[in-house]
């Protein structure tokens, strides 16, 4: 039983991290109807930019290496880079393709993926880097001693950060002018336009927010596995979360992440050994697929009734 809980809790915590990546997809899909394939590349780009600045800033500014000042300066600069990326994306990719069918926009984001990957590695090089956020990835002793359940302190930290981020985004959507405008756009582009919300600004903002989410996700995943090209693969973990939770639902991404995280771990541990293991590559997809058969619009997706 103790093992079961260990796996379950570990899975739920991982699930939060999947949700974090899925969140970026949801934001963009909600506001602009674009299935942004480049989200994984953005995570990579953000993390690499952050680590890159950490490396070069001490030399440029004379700040103490590894210090707080460098950390926050790098964070702000990376955020700036993500905003620039958002502006460039809107200008170069989205604006000329407005009103094109979704598949064309999807394809354009694939082109964007190559661009972003090439730029990231072109500027910062292909070296694999470590990232230390100062939180040790070790078992929490209290849980170990009292319940013999292993829970990683880093995962708890990451989950907390993700939770704060989600809460902050929810507040942002609910209570700010921009947030309300974003929701209006998500509900109805035409209507939003007609009441005078500049769609272009909204797109830039939402891509920038998605860039911010990518930066946080990239930092956490980068601290877990190193800052390297493989960060783009985190997108693969996020996709089943996305279809399970619904493309347009922020809470869906969270709940979907928890379900996927927990069930894939339990499946790998309890089912994997009987079929040769390694089922984590497809299990979340099959799970999500089975779920979709029951609810085709995802957990929290908007139900679509065909009107004829």
By the rule CB under 8 A, 152 interacts with other proteins: yes
Q: Which of residues 279-308 bind other proteins (CB under 8 A)?
A: 279-282, 285-286, 288-289, 292-293, 296-298, 305-308
- Least Å distance, CB 292 to other proteins, is 5
Nearer Cβ to other proteins, position 189 or 237? 237
- Least Å distance, CB 211 to other proteins, is 17
By the rule CB under 8 A, 276 interacts with other proteins: yes
By the rule CB under 8 A, 126 interacts with other proteins: yes
- Least Å distance, CB 49 to other proteins, is 15
- Least Å distance, CB 296 to other proteins, is 5
Determine if residue 187 is left, alpha or beta; phi over 0 gives left, psi from -120 to 50 gives alpha, anything else beta: alpha
Nearer Cβ to other proteins, position 202 or 299? 299
Within 10 angstroms of residue 77's Cβ, the number of other Cβ atoms is: 17
Place of tokens 């973990």: 237
- Least Å distance, CB 67 to other proteins, is 18
By the rule CB under 8 A, 264 interacts with other proteins: yes
Nearer Cβ to other proteins, position 77 or 156? 156
- Least Å distance, CB 31 to other proteins, is 15
Nearer Cβ to other proteins, position 195 or 275? 275
Binding mask 175-194 for other proteins (x = CB under 8 A): --------------------
Nearer Cβ to other proteins, position 35 or 173? 35
Q: Which of residues 27-56 bind other proteins (CB under 8 A)?
A: 35
By the rule CB under 8 A, 259 interacts with other proteins: no
* Joined tokens for residue 181: 């405008």
Binding mask 209-238 for other proteins (x = CB under 8 A): ------------x--xxxxxxx-xxx-xx-
287 Cβ contact partners less than 8 Å away, ≥ 6 residues apart: 240, 244, 259, 260, 263, 264, 267
């Amino acid at each position: 039983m103790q093992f079961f809980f260990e796996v379950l809790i570990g899975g739920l915590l991982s699930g939060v991290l999947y949700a974090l990546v899925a969140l970026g997809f949801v934001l963009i899909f909600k506001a602009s109807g674009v299935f942004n394939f480049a989200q994984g590349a953005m995570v990579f780009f953000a993390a690499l930019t952050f680590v890159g600045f950490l490396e070069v800033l001490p030399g440029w500014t004379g700040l103490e290496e590894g210090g707080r000042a460098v950390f926050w300066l790098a964070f702000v600069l990376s955020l700036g880079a993500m905003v620039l990326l958002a502006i460039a994306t809107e200008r170069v990719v989205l604006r000329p393709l407005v009103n094109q069918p979704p598949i064309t926009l999807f394809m354009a984001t694939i082109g964007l993926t190559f661009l972003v990957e090439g730029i990231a590695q072109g500027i910062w090089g292909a070296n694999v880097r470590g990232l230390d956020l100062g939180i040790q990835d070790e078992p929490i002793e209290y849980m170990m001693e009292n319940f013999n359940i292993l829970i990683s302190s880093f995962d708890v930290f990451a989950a907390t950060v993700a939770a704060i981020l989600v809460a902050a985004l929810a507040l942002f959507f609910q209570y700010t002018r921009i947030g309300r405008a974003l929701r209006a756009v998500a509900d109805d582009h035409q209507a939003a336009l007609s009441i005078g919300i500049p769609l272009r600004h909204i797109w830039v903002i939402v891509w920038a927010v998605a860039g911010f989410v990518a930066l946080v996700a990239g930092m956490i995943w980068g601290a877990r596995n190193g800052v390297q090209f493989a960060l783009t693969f985190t997108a693969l973990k996020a996709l089943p979360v996305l279809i399970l939770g619904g493309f347009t639902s922020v809470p869906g991404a969270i709940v979907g992440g928890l379900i996927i995280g927990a069930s894939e771990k339990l499946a790998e541990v309890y089912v994997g050994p009987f079929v040769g293991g390694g089922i984590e590559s497809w299990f979340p997809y099959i799970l999500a697929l089975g779920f979709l058969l029951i609810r085709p619009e995802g957990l929290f997706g908007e139900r679509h009734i065909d009107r004829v």
